[in-house]
Amino acid sequence: MHFKNNFIYRVAFVALLIVMGITGACGALPMNPMGYEDIVTMAKPQSAIMSPQGNKTAYTVRRSHVEKNQNRDEFYIWNAQDKTSKKVFEADKILQVEWTEDEKTVYLLTQDKGQFHIVGGGAEGFAPLASFDERVSVMALSSDSQHLYYAIAQTTSDDVIKQKKELGYVYKWGEDNCFTLDGKHFKQVEFEEIWCLNVPSKKSYFLTRISCDGIYKNLDYYSRVVSIHPSEDERLLAFSLSKVGRSDKGEIPVSNEIVIWDTHQQQWKSLSVGLYKRINQPCWLSNTQLAFVESSIVNGVSAQS
């Protein structure tokens, strides 16, 4: 796994816009004063991910369609050699981008028409790999590009919610665990399932699940999967979890932690990893050594029992 540096991505994106003259994908900036509709409909760059070898840059631009009352994300690939940019995909939201090491393929996690999708392709177009009715929070690509790991949020069923509403349940923070308002219904993310998609066969298989209360069942907070990091041999999967506390005033950010799942032994590894205010850029140094940045301090932890 290569070390991803968000700062470098931002600098690369700014440089990309300068080279493109801000005209290719984003449209020429008007010289006259801009009105409300001009601002609303103006293309807004979202993110940019440089390929591992630096020969290509994938970036997304959000466009507003006033007549449809809709925003759409457009996905572009910029080629550094001929300095050309090409729109290759679009969706309601493009949530995540993963390059293969050989730069031939890029995988996207998208949300479109109420569903979540994983698609793969390149400058010549994209093909669907998997679609989901449930929310897919994050995905990760293995070092050999053969597997995509992803987390699916499983919420309380509508039947259970209907039954509890009929019984007169009142949902409050601290009484019923991690409920959030979803339209006119209160829904609970009970756990997140971790799956592995075999890219060549397009078949997925279940690995494990992470409870909303975290693997240690602490009721003072709930956990959400922020990122997944498979080791090079894919025996160990490191998960960065965002831990949010509950109070009468709603969610309170508490800390972050890293937990590791052993796919061979089918169990969580016992680690001396504490809770951190912020965890950035976890990266496997070897099949048993994981490094990450915590509040600008580099930390390392052994994944051995």
Query: pLDDT digit string (tens) for 6-40?
Result: 444 454 554 554 444 434 444 444 445 545 455 55
What is the predicted pLDDT for the residue at 71?
Answer: 86
Residue 39's contacts (CB-CB under 8 Å, 6 or more residues apart) are: none
- Taking alpha carbons only, the member of 300, 285, 192 closest to residue 242 is 192
pLDDT reported for residue 198: 97
Distance CA 251, CA 247 (A): 7
How is residue 287 written in tokens? 């099949």
Cα separation, 55 vs 101, whole angstroms = 11
- Give the CA count within 13 Å in the CB-facing half-sphere of 89: 30
Start-to-end CA distance of the chain, whole Å, equals 22
Residue 149 has a pLDDT of 98
- Angle in degrees, CA 148, 156, 109, rounded to 5: 25
The per-residue pLDDT of the chain, averaged, comes to 76
Tens digit of each residue's pLDDT (9 = 90 or more) over 172-207: 444 444 444 443 445 667 789 999 999 999 999 999
Distance of CA 208 to CAs 176, 186, 240, Å?
A: 24, 26, 15
> Rounded to an integer, what distance in angstroms lies between the CA atom of residue 234 and that of residue 224?
22
State percent of the chain over pLDDT 70: 64
Report the percentage of the chain scoring pLDDT > 90.
40
Q: Which two tokens stand for residue 255?
A: 């800390």
User: Do 260 and 236 contact (CB within 8 A), yes or no?
Assistant: yes
